[in-house]
Structure 1
Amino acid sequence: MKRNRSGPERAALALALALASCAMESKPPAGRGGPPPPVPVRVGRAERKSVPVRLSAIGTVVPIRVVAIRPRVGGQIVAVEFEEGQAVRAGDVLFRIDPRPFEVALAQAEAAVRRDKAQLAYRRAETGRYRTLVEREMAARDQLDQARANLATLEAAIAAGEAGVAAARLNLEFTTITSPIDGRTGSLLVTAGNVVSAGGDKPLVVIHQLRPIHVSFAVPERELPEVRVRQAEGPLRVEALPRGATAPSRGRLAFVDNTVDPATGTIRLKAVFDNEDESLWPGQFVDVVLTLGELAGVVVVPAAAVQTGQDGRTVFVVGAGGVVEVRPVRVSRMDEREAVVDEGLAGGETVVTDGHLRLRPGSRVKVVTGEPAAGGRGDGSRGAPGGREEQRRRGTGAAPADAASGAPEPAAAGPGGGAAPGEAAALENGAAEVATRR
């Protein structure tokens, strides 16, 4: 049997439906609950100043002179006069070879010369007598010629004997092996008691000159014109920092190779260092900085502010009210710390250095300070997506502004933004109950 509702019941039902309808209409759509919160970023300032023009490279320490000590005469080594790794000076005795065979050879050569010189006086007198006899026509001309030939032969023999004496004396001197340079000895490769041959393939020891010393490094061929121009103006300063060292060694550019390596597109340079403290060691890898000069009055920003994308290099500039804009820039030089901006920025402007990922043109930002936490730098940091580490990992540089994640999170309904979630739920439940009763 159909029940007729009374007037009060119909009024209550109408009121519940009206309240539920108002609650549904006042509930904001997802993602449209007001402006998004400011994006936290770290910033730096574009400064106009003078900056040095530097080229950085990895170099290798190479000695200016390397001498492999080999014997010049053969014999038995009777003494080693140095310790492995010892610093030596030019002329210091290194090895002694048994001199006795060479002393005997010298004595024989000297005796042969004395014998020939004793015959020399007789041959000269004989030649004089034959000359007189020929002038008096008491001897034949050929006898005088023979006497002169005998004299010349003896004089040549004496000259050869004297050369033999000099050679024997030189060989005797070679039994004492000395260092030809100042430097430091390496490993001892032949010990006392061994018999060595003259000019053997195996050196006795290798000496490296350490003071002064060279550092060899390569720079891109595009830098060659400026290097040559700057070098013609005066000596170029070079700094070399060994791994683990706290202070660099300072030297000057000494050599520019005459050929560009076509395989690598680089050119080889060498710098010379006094190396008085021997902080540079042969074979060592060092960080090299070549200073070419100075750029005066240029705009400089932190390198972290420069983003590289498909449209080139850009920076996020913080304007009035904390609103950012994307600004294309032209960068002429850049290292791990700073970038020189030729076009696109003015001195004094504020640029974003960290937190780029969530930014897009027109985003509002909140400047945060302090160092990033370990393992990351927050939103858009070097250790988080959008930072320079993430950009290098993706291989695409900074994300373009229109691809950056900038959509705000849906705003929660609350005071001033429609009915609260609990209130709306109560209204909906009331409407459902009234409908059921119907």
Structure 2
Amino acid sequence: MTNKVSAAAISEKDSAAGKGYSRMAFISFLLIVLAAVFWFLRTHDSAANRIPKNEVSVMPVPVVTTLTSQRDVPVKFKTKGTVSPIQIVEVRPQVAAAIKTVHIKEGQFVAKGERLFTLDTRAEEANLAKSAAQLAKTRVELHNAMRQLHRQQELFHKNFISQAALDVAENQVELLQNQLKFDEAAVQADRVTRGYGEIVAPIAGRTGAIQVYPGSLVRPEASLLVSITQIDPIYVSFVLPERELATLKQALAKGEVTLSAQLNLSDKQEREGRIVFIDSAVDTASGTIQIKAEFANADGKFWPGMFANVTLIASILPKALTVPTQALQTGPNGQLVFVVGEDNKAMPHRVGVKLIQEGIAVVEGIEAGQCVVIEGAQHLRAGTTVNPSRTCGQVSDSDQGGLRSDSGNKNTPSPSLLPSL
């Protein structure tokens, strides 16, 4: 019995010793892991602290720069216009007759006074011959009456006839003189009527569809023979906002308006024109005013009904400071540009934008000749060091974003900050 108790006690002691050893092993492992983590973090922080602060800074940002420029900038309005003829004439006969000859073809260009149609005028020629014969008869009768009056006057002075007989002779001469005027007018009227048989072009232009053929019977007013459309010169009609009317009138008074039109054709040809009409009233529904401009059209490329791009220059901003629109950035306080200094540090400068057109912006708030960023500005902050692709002094004209003079460039969009036309 005593031996059994001793064995059990020894077994319990061995079990307790095993549990204590396992606990110590776990604690030792945990301490080793914590020591390793501490060593790693301490080593990492020490390596980071050994890096100089100037090596932590961001590398220079590559950017593209250009110079601001100062020049006179024309303010351009661009709108759509419609080509319309100056006049369209409907050719109709003035006498009732049959068509004898058609001298033109459909779509032909005719000059003013060119013969178009010949009518059968035999009846008019007969009437003219009749009135001419009557005129000749009256002239003979008047000649005889004047000789008779001369004889009567001689007899009256010799007291061979009375005053009444002399009055009869004088009245006869006066009557025949008036008859002569009547007959002369009749001959002239018949000549005009006969002339209606030759129908000529009242204006120069292009003929439309011919409505009659040889043998067709035509009547005054009822029968349309052909239409002629004048296309050289030609009109382009367009509208402008009413608030621009005062500026336009001032520019017209000074002769400073430049106007050009371009068709939507492959050659993109432009031509200069002049304003010939400004409507007397503003359209209350749209707030615009109708304007017509006249353009030379000898080559016939401007066709009635076509749409044309109209560019109007009515004012100029003198000595305006310009930058490419790519240089503009939007900040919390408005528009800004990044200006690069001699130390290649980019600093934001707030600017006021007066005008945007044709890839350029007219701004205020910076000076001419400053170096501004036009590409890569989205990666910049105040004081960022930049690496320009070239120095501003080396920038080419192609990088100016349209900053060169517009005197030779007439195809210019309208300013985006002005009312849309």
Q: Under a length normalisation based on structure 1, what TM-score does the superposition of the two structures give? A: 0.66
Distance (whole Å) between structure 2 residues aligned to residue 178 and residue 308 of structure 1:
67
- Match of residue 323, structure 2, among 283, 301, 306: 301
What is the DSSP-based 3-state SS (H/G/I as helix, E as strand, rest coil) of the residue aligned with 1:193?
coil
What is the DSSP-based 3-state SS (H/G/I as helix, E as strand, rest coil) of the residue aligned with 2:170?
helix
* Residue 94 in structure 1 maps to residue 111 in structure 2: no
Q: 1:347 to 1:223 in 2, by over 3 A?
A: farther
What do residues 155-201 of structure 1 show as CA deviations (whole Å, max 9, x unaligned)? 2122111111111111111211111333222222333332222234x
Alignment of 1:237-276 (within 5 A): 237-257=258-278, 259-263=280-284, 264-276=286-298
* Residue 11 in structure 1 maps to residue 23 in structure 2: no
1:422 corresponding residue in structure 2: none
What do residues 123-177 of structure 1 show as CA deviations (whole Å, max 9, x unaligned)? 3344445545555555554444344333322221221111111111111112111
- Give 1:81 deviation, angstroms: 0.7
- Match of residue 220, structure 1, among 215, 225, 241: 241
Q: 1:39 to 1:188 in 2, by over 3 A?
A: farther
- Give 1:120 deviation, angstroms: 1.7
Distance (whole Å) between structure 2 residues aligned to residue 246 and residue 237 of structure 1:
21
Distance (whole Å) between structure 1 residues aligned to residue 287 and residue 388 of structure 2:
43
Distance (whole Å) between structure 1 residues aligned to residue 197 and residue 95 of structure 2:
7
Q: 1:225 to 1:86 in 2, by over 3 A?
A: same
Q: 1:175 to 1:62 in 2, by over 3 A?
A: same
Q: 1:10 to 1:252 in 2, by over 3 A?
A: same
Q: 1:116 to 1:261 in 2, by over 3 A?
A: same
- Give 1:233 deviation, angstroms: 4.2
Which amino acid counterpart does residue 284 of structure 1 have in structure 2?
Answer: M
What do residues 260-313 of structure 1 show as CA deviations (whole Å, max 9, x unaligned)? 5243444444443333333222332111223447555422123455578997x6
Distance (whole Å) between structure 1 residues aligned to residue 23 and residue 329 of structure 2:
73
Alignment of 1:245-394 (within 5 A): 245-257=266-278, 259-263=280-284, 264-292=286-314, 295=317, 297-303=319-325, 305-306=327-328, 314-317=335-338, 325=348, 327-331=350-354, 333-343=355-365, 346-351=368-373
* Residue 58 in structure 1 maps to residue 80 in structure 2: yes
- Give 1:107 deviation, angstroms: 1.0
What is the DSSP-based 3-state SS (H/G/I as helix, E as strand, rest coil) of the residue aligned with 1:210?
strand
Distance (whole Å) between structure 2 residues aligned to residue 60 and residue 43 of structure 1:
42
- Give 1:40 deviation, angstroms: 9.9
2:97 corresponding residue in structure 1: 75
Identity between Structure 1 and Structure 2 (%): 29
Question: Bigger CA drift: 34-43 or 335-344?
Answer: 34-43
2:230 corresponding residue in structure 1: 209
Distance (whole Å) between structure 2 residues aligned to residue 142 and residue 148 of structure 1:
10
- Give 1:232 deviation, angstroms: 4.1
1:47 corresponding residue in structure 2: 69
2:412 corresponding residue in structure 1: none
Indicate conservation of the 8 Å contact 1:318/1:350, yes or no: yes
Indicate conservation of the 8 Å contact 1:98/1:175, yes or no: yes
Indicate conservation of the 8 Å contact 1:299/1:347, yes or no: no
1:405 corresponding residue in structure 2: none
Structure 1: state its 5+ residue gaps: 27-33, 370-438
What do residues 380-437 of structure 1 show as CA deviations (whole Å, max 9, x unaligned)? xxxxxxxxxxxxxxxxxxxxxxxxxxxxxxxxxxxxxxxxxxxxxxxxxxxxxxxxxx
Question: Bigger CA drift: 59-68 or 82-91?
Answer: 59-68
Which amino acid counterpart does residue 261 of structure 2 have in structure 1?
Answer: A
Distance (whole Å) between structure 2 residues aligned to residue 157 and residue 367 of structure 1:
106
Structure 2: state its 5+ residue gaps: 1-14, 45-55, 390-421
Alignment: residue pair count: 357
Q: 1:368 to 1:86 in 2, by over 3 A?
A: farther
Which amino acid counterpart does residue 352 of structure 2 have in structure 1?
Answer: V
1:114 corresponding residue in structure 2: 136
Distance (whole Å) between structure 1 residues aligned to residue 96 and residue 329 of structure 2:
69
Q: Which has the larger radius of gyration?
A: 2
As a proportion of its length, which structure holds more helix?
A: 2
What do residues 241-263 of structure 1 show as CA deviations (whole Å, max 9, x unaligned)? 11024243332424252635243
Which amino acid counterpart does residue 327 of structure 1 have in structure 2?
Answer: R
